[in-house]
Structure 1
Amino acid sequence: MDLSTVLRTFAGRCGHKAQVVLKHLSVFLFQLWISRITAASQEHGLKYPAFIVNLIKCQVELNRKVLADLAIYEPKTFKSLAALAKRRRQEGFAAALGDGKEPEGIFSRVVQDH
């Protein structure tokens, strides 16, 4: 018997209780992955939301489970991903600031040192 057969048999016998346990387990694991990614990204100077958003902008399609595993078992790889996200974040700041010149007819409260 393979694992899927055993799980289906268990779920059939336990019914609703098995579904509740599996739901709680999946929520717990998701929160665990997020807390691990948060801790690892903070070690590299990024908050979790900024890290995830900038990885998405860089088209890195790794899910939270893989990122959490990389944070634990492959810290150098995670450091490279954090550097990539940091670089993307800095590029976003530079693009938002532009070349420092205000377009005509636009008034800004931004004070720039000249």
Structure 2
Amino acid sequence: MPRSKTRVPSRARRKNILKAAKGYYGRRKSNLRLAKDAVAHAGQYAYAHRRDKKGAFRTLWITRLNAAVREFDLSYSQFIHLLSKANISINRKVLADLAVSDPEAFAAVVKQVKAQA
């Protein structure tokens, strides 16, 4: 069996790294040594921030809900408490989407929650 050389796989690895570094600034997009480091760091940031994004969206939903329920003379915490008392299990994402896209439906939910209190 002939000895296999690493020319093709090596070239493929280098191409993948440079493809991942496309759009980077300066030599980080074209110099393999710099691109390798930049791509590694970018991967670490992407991994960490995928998790941070979940918390950021929850914060956004809570802020939107608080603003929406203030129009009905409630605070966010009172609203969530009354939701649990009324046995209504709609998550914050759906509630925030209702408040933005369908205010009438959100008003109905708030009215039902207030009636249970």
TM-score w.r.t. structure 1 length? 0.62
Calculate the aligned-residue CA RMSD, in Å.
Answer: 1.8
CA shift, 1:76, in A, is: 0.6
CA shift, 1:58, in A, is: 1.3
Alignment: residue pair count? 78
More helix by share: 2
What residue number does 1:98 align with? none
TM-score w.r.t. structure 2 length? 0.60
Q: Percent identity?
A: 35
Pair member with larger Rg: 2
Give the counterpart of 2:98 among 33, 57, 70.
Answer: 70
Q: One-letter code of the match for 1:80? A: A
Give the counterpart of 2:52 among 11, 14, 24.
Answer: 24
Unpaired stretches in structure 1, ≥5 consecutive residues: 1-9, 90-114
Structure 1 segments of 4 or more deviating over 4 A?
Answer: none
Unpaired stretches in structure 2, ≥5 consecutive residues: 1-19, 21-39
What residue number does 2:115 align with? 87
Does structure 2 retain, via aligned residues, the 8 Å contact 1:46–1:82?
no
Q: What's the secondary structure of 1:60's corresponding residue?
A: coil
